[in-house]
Structure 1
């Protein structure tokens, strides 16, 4: 199974999503994360050696891909129309993370407009949802549903646990003594199960 994580805007938890999807799928079968972002954020995250899966730069992915059942691809921000077409054609499911800020939603809508012309299967994952009493997450979901876009039921809460995980070179569920880290991992578990089901549907 090949899952690609992409977005038109930085700061929407794209790499965080790729890392935690890879963590989930590694529990099911050998998984690698392909770091296709020029910033090499996933490779930097992995440099501490505590992630449970292998990370390879894009240029080495073909060499190692046959060793893995699942491949998660972290892409660069703001892909061109041609790059987006290639991304859609090269995976089982395209995942588009977005936070609920207006600028991020505008960038997401540009992406979905391009995808409507290209075709292909994708899901939108709401990330960095602020805690109550903020209504940003609910309002963003309502907007996407009104546009009849495939927004996922799962969403990812905003928490400093992800910063701690990145700084330690771990996935968030292995951050110790943090209730929020456990809750954040549950968010990504729900998202990953939903993604697995959607990508599996493509093979039926």
Structure 2
């Protein structure tokens, strides 16, 4: 079983959205359990409004559902301190750090990366504004220049996410332009599978 943890150093960076849509991608390749460890219970609430193609459980209930899964995706509380981060990294195969492509997010991300040291992690740029904005590409370049591992895939900013959350489904189930971000999560999922295969 592969364990993927999604954590963020601040709220509103697409952490739970990423956990939900990544779990959907992985559910096409095996059995998935999404553990909602965030006190806000975003993933649990999302799943109760509709239907996700895998089980969602909070961290207290998850123990009875862990066995037999191919993938375990963990949505953690926001703002972990450095010791929490190190523990999270030790307990998983890949730690994903969603972050916004803005200068305010860059310094905390550099500090986070320093705290993680040699752990297997990748930064994921989320809620990236569309062209002609180059904020996403600029942040990606800045992170790479600092030696921080960052996914090539970026998750676009899109109204479809709010609609999917309201309906209690993943972005994969949306139609028309609202479904376009699913392409981002498919590309991200493929990158993640490569990282896991190399690990």
Provide the TM-score with structure 2 as the length reference.
Answer: 0.96
CA offsets 1:2-56 (integer angstroms, 9 cap, x no match): 1000111111100011001100111111101000101111111111231111100
Counterpart of 1:190 in structure 2 is 187
* Partners of 1:12 and 1:104 within 8 A in 2: no
Counterpart of 1:201 in structure 2 is 198
Counterpart of 2:45 in structure 1 is 44
Label 1:24 to 1:196 Cα distance change in 2 as closer, same or farther (>3 A): same
* Partners of 1:33 and 1:74 within 8 A in 2: yes
> CA separation in 2, counterparts of 1:163 and 1:58?
25
* Partners of 1:9 and 1:107 within 8 A in 2: no
Superposed counterparts of 1:26-105, under 5 Å: 26-105=27-106
CA offsets 1:80-137 (integer angstroms, 9 cap, x no match): 2221121111110001111102222222222111112xx3100111111101111111
> CA separation in 2, counterparts of 1:101 and 1:136?
7
Q: CA RMSD in A?
A: 1.1
> CA separation in 2, counterparts of 1:103 and 1:74?
23
Matched, 1:149 2:148: yes
Greater mean alpha carbon deviation, residues 104-113 or residues 142-151: 104-113
Provide the TM-score with structure 1 as the length reference.
Answer: 0.93
Would you say how many aligned residue pairs link Structure 1 and Structure 2? 198
* Partners of 2:50 and 2:167 within 8 A in 1: no
> CA separation in 1, counterparts of 2:83 and 2:124?
23
* Partners of 1:7 and 1:111 within 8 A in 2: no
Counterpart of 1:169 in structure 2 is 168
Counterpart of 1:124 in structure 2 is 123
> CA separation in 1, counterparts of 2:103 and 2:17?
20
Runs of 4+ in structure 1 off by over 6 angstroms are: none
